[in-house]
Amino acid sequence: NIAPTLAAKRDIVQNAIHFAHALGITTPQVAVLSAVEGVTPALPATGDAAALAKMAAQGVITGGVVDGPLTADTAISIAAARANGVESKVAGNANVLIVPGLEAGALLLRAITGMFGALAAGVTLGASVPVVLSSRGESMEVRMAACVLASLVAEHTTHAAVQKPSSHVARAT
């Protein structure tokens, strides 16, 4: 999503939490990233980040701890969070990073893969089944990683659906 609305960002956060659960993360620590900490009217993404954190606090977004706006360094480094005076359960402990839009996400992805040699595999979430994303230039390793991630999500979703009690089942007393 190039420039997601607040409602789309809410769905992205919830899908990311479900994805983290599928990867075995019981309580995902979700950092909603921005250029600065704190709400700044000149930067609309900061208001969205704060709104998403509030939605999680109110139970609209469930299954993880959500905080924002946080900068990338405070999200992943306890030392940076302390140095910047940021007090948050998520700061320094984030295992899910939410970016404000496509441009920021592409920059972060290229930085992580370029500097650290990370593998970047794509899976689209939110549909009835996960969708594997790959391009012609992707290596077999990346394509296989995307398939593995999609399989984990599908298995987790199927398992979660089986575990939910049906509202149509009569209960004996």
Q: What's the pLDDT tens digit per position in 17-42? A: 999 999 999 999 999 999 999 999 99
Calpha distance 107→153 (Å, rounded): 25
Q: Are 35 and 55 in contact (CB under 8 A)?
A: no
DSSP 60: S
The answer to whether residue 172 scores a pLDDT higher than 60 is: no
Residues 6+ apart with CB under 8 A from 162: none
Question: What digits encode the pLDDT tens for the residues 86-121?
Answer: 999 999 999 999 999 999 999 999 999 999 988 888
Residue 172 is encoded by which pair of tokens? 């004996």
Question: What digits encode the pLDDT tens for the residues 120-132?
Answer: 888 888 888 888 9
pTM reported for the whole predicted model: 0.86
pLDDT band at 166 (very low <50, low <70, confident <90, very high): very low
Q: Are 13 and 67 in contact (CB under 8 A)?
A: no
Q: Distance of alpha carbon 94 from its chain centroid, rounded?
A: 10
Calpha distance 74→92 (Å, rounded): 6
pLDDT band at 162 (very low <50, low <70, confident <90, very high): low
Average pLDDT over residues 130-144: 87
